[in-house]
Chains A and B, each alone.
Chain A
Amino acid sequence: MIDGINRRKVINRRAFLYGAGTIAIGLPFLEGLQERSAWAANAQPIFTFFLCGACGVEPKRFWPGSTGALSGLLASGKAVDALADHAKNLLIVKGVNFPLTGPSGCGHAQGLSQALTGKTPTGNGGQAAATGPSVDYVISKAVNPAGTDPLTLYAGNLRNGYIADRLSFDDSARVRASVDNPYKLYQKLTGLASPAGSGTGSGGGTGTAGGGGTPVNPQAEELIVKRKSVNDTVRAELSSLMQNPKLSAADKQRLQQHFDAIRDTEKTMTDMGTQMAGVGCTLDGIETSAYQALSTWKYNATNVATGGIENIVELHMGLVALAFACDYNRTGTLQWGDGTDHTVYQTESNKTLGNWNFHYISHRTQSDGAVGSNSTAEAAHAEIDQVRMTTLAKSLKHFAARGLQDKAVVVWTNHVAEGNHQMRNVPFVLWGNGGGALKQGQYVDAAGASNAALFNTIITAATGNASPNFGSSGGKEIAAIKV
């Protein structure tokens, strides 16, 4: 039996199901309530999230002036100044390179394909592909229950016809599909937590919170039985199909993937509050109307109606923080911008330019292929960096408000370092100490270490695996970022 305070702070599935008398409301998010034995058995989980911004940064106006303690460093007119409020929870890392430091052909797909895999990609142009799984997928396999893949989110143009989804990769290095509209994730999460302002986190139910033997709502129990009947039938059908000797290995794998994805809603709810002490699984900070306004939203270049694509990012991130606090998922990614991001940011310098798209700005000339030296475009790039870091700062407040500073690592990086496709000294901004594993309040130099080594360090923090050998790291970690 857990104490009352903790119990009120956490999601309580039994209470939730009791409150699921309105089954029509409960249906969309019940699928998140599959068995999570790892949670109950292990110590405090560490949540990880990886954001990857398009088109690099304007380096002269991005990084702090010198390495060292961040207190005092974030007030020198650089883009990262926007993160000053989070200084004590930040770790800014320079000197990190991608495995392929100089791209061949258009470098965007190559950059995306190694940004989170830490391995040299194959191919070039728009068809460049990853050669290994991404860090979120590796972590997910270790810490998420079977059947739960990483959250894979997107803020940008999914239908650009060139390089779109290209950040998260599975074990076979196949790119994974992403969700571009926060409303979709919102629908799945709504109801997982308590109503905003309740301060209880008890699932919004009217029944007795906690384990104490209270019977769950009969309708919810019946729903579980129905789902089991459906799942058993579907599994049997898949098994029968897989017996067909004519099937290729690829077809068997496809059906097995389907089979493995089927999850039964757990029959026996246990209160899992003890490990989540101090974490807020409530709808506080989730602006329902903002999400509902996106029910039919589709990307366009300016996104004026939604307050810019940066607002989409923040709405995504608010939900990620909620998902972590409610243990809906423990890791994920957000790709901000497609490979050749044609989003138009309404910054002052860009108004002077006449509203160029971001890819043109990053190239310093109005071209997807050529690279120029327009100084106004350079200033516009720096302003976009400020927009992005400001958005990151706002997003991190959702994580901070839920008490995730010592239970999570949120990583900002880019798929190229600069607009010219350079892949050396790629930005890395980390928030959260990952359970005490990472330095905080510091700006450090990784001295040319690979992103794979950085991810190795995070994998160790997130999974407890003391000697991961991620990507092309050769098992190395980055000592400069570790406590």
Chain B
Amino acid sequence: MTGMPIYSRFLRLTNTQWENSVHDLLKLTESTGQSEHFLPAVSGVTDFDNNERVVMVNNGNWGDFQGAAEAVVAKVTATDQSLQAVAGTTDVATFIKKFGRRAFRRELTAAEVTTYTALHQKGSTFSGTQSAFTKGAALVITTMLQSPHFLYRTELGDNGATLSGYELAAKLSLWLLNTTPSDTLLDAAGKGTLDTPDGAVAQAKTMLEATAAVSAVREMHSQLYKIPLLDTITKANVQGYSEGLKAEFTAAANSFFDFIYSKNLGVKDILTTNVGFAGPLMAELYGLKASGTGVQQVALADRSGWYTQAPFLTQWAINNDPDSIHRGVRINLDTLCNEIPPPNVELPPVPALAPSQTNRQRYENLTNGCGKPCHTEYINPVGFAFEDYDGIGRYRSNDNGNPLDTTGSYPFADGTRSFKDSTDLMQVIANGAQAHQCWSKKLASYALERDIVEAERTTVETLGAVSQASGGSLKQVMLALVQTPAFRTRVGGTP
């Protein structure tokens, strides 16, 4: 497990977290849309876009936060009535303490109350037809939305110490709901309810059942399984493929991971369930009768989990031929966390299929020299297990007129195991520890907003065991993570 954690005490809200938090703070009925125009996080250098290495305030985005704060506050304080929908009081101190607690995700200090009271006084003298209270509140809210106490989730205690209740509340809410903690959660934090592992877990359990949690977990899977790439699929001269499939693939993928999460299923189910989702075009690929519009839940007999579904199989294919190498690479990287090295330069081209040659034989010949160890041991066997699916995920019974060979073996971390096809491979992977630990590692990275390193192997193994156990669900792993020191304490970094 390699990485370069900073162990930052200041994790800037992601653009989505900013949007959701402002929405909740200002009790808006719809999204402000402001974050659509924020500078995005640096793309392509971390697994997830909330990684501490790519979330900060700098010259490139400071103006985004300033402009957005001003724009949303202008709307909310346009009239006294509109502000009252947010403030619910005209008492300055009450407003500052109440709104400030929600914005800063903790109680304000006395000094902060004094500072913001002075700001309110100053703001109240500005021009405008609104009341002095509303004008003052406008300056207070504008400032709070640009404050480091709002823009950063913080961990300010001693290294090794348990996070404060408020810090834990923010960590839980921003991770599980992608938004600022509710008043209820802050109340619980203030009462010390989150100070014990059980207390924190109880709060997390409630959050896991919220609708917002489904969206938050979907976002993690979207980045982990490269769902946005489905919209960039290109095919040349493939009968049965149409551009309309791309939208169905994306919708089906999101529905699939929502289903896994919402139904209390787990990694095992991601790998082995025969439940899938399909729209009318995808139904044809699956040989099913289309019903209705949009994607619907379907039973995919003889298919085993995400990797045997059309979105993945179509993404990693060359026109109508299986791209055995990249199917294998993706599973190695995303599900087995096997950090395979990059390919050599100027690889020879994939030759055209010779008469009576199988796709598998073609790739075996191609990779027999350059890159052989990685290919023959790790990449190819996994990729070849899917030779019974063509380039758009349809089942095929032969390969260029020859019998299919989907058999192989793989050197898992806990020993080499053989399999006869993709269904068998998925079962083998689901039964072993490696995929469970891998997903747990990815989860931890997303939740902790940083890279996970070798020193945290025990944590990953602990979480993996929860996932691997009978009935182990994504939610159970998430709750187990909440109880770990990695989540609950301030993990010290370099001085």
Contacts and interface: CB of A to CB of B under 8 A. Distances in A.
A166 interface: yes
Interface in A242-298: 244, 246-251, 254-255, 257-258, 260-263, 296
A257 B39 contact: no
A149 B58 contact: yes
Given A31-B67, A106-B343, A257-B56, A161 B231 contact: no
Interface stretch (B3-11, B91-99, B187-195): B3-11
A253 to B, nearest CB: 10
Max count, chain A CB within 10 A of own CB: residue among B147, B345, B366 = B345
A179 B341 contact: no
A422 B319 CA distance: 27
A208 interface: no
Contacts of B401: none
Given A234-B148, A261-B62, A262-B62, A177 B349 contact: no
A247 B232 contact: no
Interface string B306-344: 000000000000110000011000000000000001111
Contact of A261 (B54, B59, B126, B350): B59
A453 B226 CA distance: 39
A31 B63 contact: yes
Interface string B18-31: 00000000000000
Contact of A257 (B43, B58, B341): B58
Interface string B209-234: 00000000000000100101101111
Given A222-B127, A255-B10, A248 B495 contact: yes
B102 to A, nearest CB: 17
B342 A367 contact: no
A230 B148 contact: no
Given A27-B71, A367-B349, A370-B348, A164 B60 contact: no
Nearest to A295: B36
B68 to A, nearest CB: 9
Interface in B117-135: 119, 122-123, 126-127
Contacts of A28: 67, 71
Given A229-B122, A250-B494, A355-B234, A371 B349 contact: yes
A91 to B, nearest CB: 31
Nearest to A233: B143
Interface string A353-373: 111110000011111111111
A175 B42 contact: yes
Interface residues on A, range: 35 or more
A165 interface: yes
A179 B42 CA distance: 10
B348 A356 contact: no
A241 interface: yes
A388 to B, nearest CB: 19
B58 A237 contact: no
Contact of A251 (B8, B157, B349): B8
A237 B149 contact: yes
Contacts of A95: none
A472 interface: no
Contacts of A176: 42, 60
A105 B57 contact: no
A342 B44 contact: no
A356 B342 contact: no
B42 A301 contact: no
Interface in A184-239: 184, 187-188, 218-219, 222, 225-227, 229-230, 233-234, 236-238
A129 to B, nearest CB: 8
Contacts of B319: 354, 366
Contacts of B59: 147-149, 260-261
B10 A254 contact: yes
Contacts of B495: 248-249
Contacts of B123: 226, 229
B9 A226 contact: no
B115 interface: yes
B484 to A, nearest CB: 22
A257 B8 CA distance: 14
A329 to B, nearest CB: 11
Interface string A380-410: 0000000000000000000000000000000
Contact of B142 (A165, A184, A226, A257): A226
Contact of B44 (A163, A179, A230, A234): A163
B350 A365 contact: yes
A436 interface: no
B289 interface: no
Contacts of A126: 44, 342
B413 interface: no
Nearest to A250: B6
B183 interface: no
A477 interface: no
A420 interface: yes
B400 interface: no
B301 interface: no
A301 B159 contact: no
Given A24-B74, A250-B6, A261-B57, A364 B236 contact: no
A183 to B, nearest CB: 8
Contact of B232 (A102, A127, A300): A300
Given A106-B343, A238-B148, A249-B494, A354 B229 contact: no
B283 interface: no
Nearest to B9: A251
B56 A258 contact: yes
B293 interface: no
B226 to A, nearest CB: 4
A125 B318 CA distance: 22
Nearest to A353: B236
Nearest to B231: A300
Contacts of B74: 23-24, 27
A373 B40 CA distance: 38
A157 B236 contact: no
Contacts of A149: 58-60
7 contacts: A177-B60, A177-B61, A234-B148, A244-B156, A248-B8, A339-B44, A354-B236
**Closest 4 A-B residue pairs measured CB to CB?**
A125-B342, A354-B236, A372-B349, A164-B44
Given A149-B59, A177-B41, A263-B63, 9 more contacts: A149-B58, A161-B44, A161-B223, A161-B226, A177-B39, A177-B54, A230-B66, A244-B156, A258-B148
